[in-house]
Amino acid sequence: MFLNVFDKRMEHICNIPVSKRETEEQEKVERLISKITNASNSIISIDASDIGNLFQKGKEIYAIEVTVDAGKKGRMQLLIELIKDKVKELGAFNHILVCLLFPEEKSIKMKELQSLKDWNELYPRELLLKLGLSTHPLYTIRAIVLLQQND
C-alpha cells in the first residue's frame, strides 16, 4: 500500500511507502506527513518531494512525535532524549526526517540545535537526515519524526 501525498504548492504527487500496519498507525503516518508538508510559517520547509527523495518505496515508515514545554530549561536536550528513547523502542534507522514546531515568542536558537547534531553523530554509519522548522501557536516545542531503515 502506498500513501499519496499531494503538495499543492509544488503540484507534485509522490508515493510514500506505508507497509501493512494497523489502520491506526497508517493514519498517524498520514496525519504527520500532512502536518509536515502543510506547515504554515515554515522557516525550513519540507515538501512532498523532500519526503519522496528521502524515503524509499516498499520500505516501512515509522512515525513518532514528542513535545516539551517551550519555556523549560534545557528543552532541546530533553526533546532529543525523548526522541532517542522512542527510536530505541523501534530499532535502527538511517533515513530520518525531523520537523520541529515551536512558538514564535520562544524560537529555537542555533546553539540549541547542537543537541540535534550531537544525536546525529551517535550513529556510526551513514545517516540521511532532513530537518524542517516551523512556528505554531502552541507554547510547546513539538518534534515530528519519520524514520525508515534502508540497507
Phi first, then psi, for residue 44 (nearest 5°) are -125, 110
pTM of the model: 0.80
pLDDT in tens, the chain (151 residues): 334 443 333 333 344 554 444 677 778 888 999 999 988 889 999 998 999 889 887 788 889 999 999 999 999 999 999 998 888 888 778 888 999 999 999 999 999 888 888 877 766 567 788 999 999 999 999 999 999 886 6
For residue 151, what pLDDT is reported?
63
According to the 3-state scheme, what is the secondary structure of 75-117? HHHHHHHHHHHHHHHHCCCCEEEEEEEECHHHCCCHHHHHHHH
d(CA 129, CA 98): 7
Bridge partners (DSSP) listed for residue 4: 15
Spatial distance between the Cα atoms of 49 and 28, rounded to a whole number of angstroms? 20
